[in-house]
Amino acid sequence: MQRTVAVVQVPAWLRAQEVLGEPVAARWQRVCAAAGLHAVVQAPDDPVDGALVVDGRALSLAPGTLRRVADGVVTVVCERGADETVRLWVARRVGAEGAPGVERLEGELADTPEALHRVERALAEALRRGAVAHGVRLVGEGMLLAPTVSLAPGCTVWHGAVLLGATRVAAGAVIHPGCVLRDADVGPDAVLLAHTVAEGATIGPGTRVGPFAHLRPGTVLDEGSRIGNFVETKNTRLGAGAKANHLAYLGDAEVGEGSNIGAGTITCNYDGARKHRTHVGAGVFVGTNTSLVAPVRVGDGALVAAGSVITEDVPAGALAIARPPQRTLAGKGAVLLARNRAARDEAEG
């Protein structure tokens, strides 16, 4: 059975906006689909080819109401009061005579940026109330929850967090202030510390991330793994219990269970034309300030010394040191410092 077509008329300025992180056109596609309708989003002055026309500024219109309108149970018309405040959402059948059976619905059309702000604020508050009623713990104010987000009872979201897209948060997980999640899957009892950004990432049970971490698309954190402050990951998997506690970049990488990635470590994954993968086995210790030049493999239980540039595979259990020998020239440091300071003083006059 073919679905009823809903022609949603959205002004150009509004079509360029997002509502709670969701593009306006995508929002209407979702709302209409939930009502069993096929949405055609177009400009108000485009030719109409559909059984139902909806004013796209009516962003608070619920799928259930839209379905009732489509079924002919109710016709909703737009009216303005004496104060010019828009009171009714708009949905009218093409060619309909008059408006029999009019149902008056309180609401506001987003016909100006100021009105859009009010509508979005009301939608956000309704979503927060719904989350609390569902058993979600919201701490403080100002968190933004998109309507496409799924929050399990027993999870906690702190003030200032922004949850967008198809983000899912499991029971027992805690999202701290300032986190921004889009299309992220957060497992049970995971903790995301302040100002973590995650997009398209899978964050496993009992993991701990942040603060100030950046999980880019394709990141997978297995149970109990740890990503610390100022760590960025992309298309990378950390095995159970693995950790990168600070100041690292892991791109296109596999890190085995229980491995430790030292501060300042980076995977050199891009050669200017192609991306290459780095494989780090289980129980590996990678020392501070190491560069892993992909494609490269580090075997299970290996140790990579701090300051190394690894360009060849490291066998399991091996020690890899790749750094030039240190030279120490007696007295040379004092001479150079004196010369540099004299040049500085002369330049400063």
DSSP 290-311: -EEESSEEE-TT-EE-TT-EE-
Least confident of 23-27, 74-78, 141-145, 282-286: 74-78
Residue 339 lies in a domain: no
For the chain, what is the mean pLDDT?
91
Q: What is the pLDDT of residue 69?
A: 81
Query: Average of pLDDT values for 102-128?
Result: 87
> Tokens in use for 169?
């948060």
For the entire predicted model, the pTM comes to: 0.88
φ and ψ of 289, to 5 deg: 60, 45
Query: Average of pLDDT values for 5-17?
Result: 93
Q: What is the pLDDT of residue 194?
A: 98
Q: Does residue 41 surpass a pLDDT of 80? A: yes
Q: How far is CA 239 from CA 18, 162, 229, 263, 313, in A?
A: 36, 27, 19, 18, 20
- Among 114, 148, 180, the domain boundary falls at 114
**Are 70 and 170 members of one domain?**
no
Residue 326 lies in a domain: no
- Among 53, 84, 114, the domain boundary falls at 114
Range of the domain at 40: 4-114
**Are 107 and 212 members of one domain?**
no
Confidence of residue 72 (pLDDT cuts 50, 70, 90): confident
Exposed/middle/buried for 264, CB within 10 Å: 0-12, 13-18, 19+?
A: middle
Q: What is the pLDDT of residue 71?
A: 81
How far apart, in whole angstroms, are the C-alpha atoms of residue 213 and residue 231?
5
Number of independent structural domains in the chain: 2
**Are 163 and 34 members of one domain?**
no
**Are 164 and 277 members of one domain?**
yes
**Which residue in the block uniquely carries the two structure tokens 């959205």?**
10
Q: What is the pLDDT of residue 278?
A: 98
**Are 230 and 266 members of one domain?**
yes
Q: What is the pLDDT of residue 79?
A: 60
Q: What is the pLDDT of residue 97?
A: 53
Residue 192 lies in a domain: yes
**Are 101 and 64 members of one domain?**
yes
Helices (H) and strands (E) in the chain, counts: 5, 34
Q: What is the pLDDT of residue 1?
A: 39
Confidence of residue 68 (pLDDT cuts 50, 70, 90): confident
Mind listing the pLDDT tens digit for each residue in 137-186?
999 988 999 999 999 999 999 999 999 999 999 999 999 999 999 999 99
**Are 104 and 191 members of one domain?**
no
Q: Does residue 208 surpass a pLDDT of 70? A: yes
- Active-site pick, 134, 195, 246, 279: 246
Percentage of residues in the chain having pLDDT higher than 90? 78
Q: What is the pLDDT of residue 78?
A: 63
Q: Does residue 220 surpass a pLDDT of 80? A: yes
| Catalytic residue list contains 246 | yes
Least confident of 57-66, 86-95, 120-129, 223-232: 86-95
Confidence of residue 329 (pLDDT cuts 50, 70, 90): very high
Q: Does residue 77 surpass a pLDDT of 80? A: no
CATH number at residue 252: 2.160.10.10
**Contact, 203 vs 226, CB < 8 A?**
no
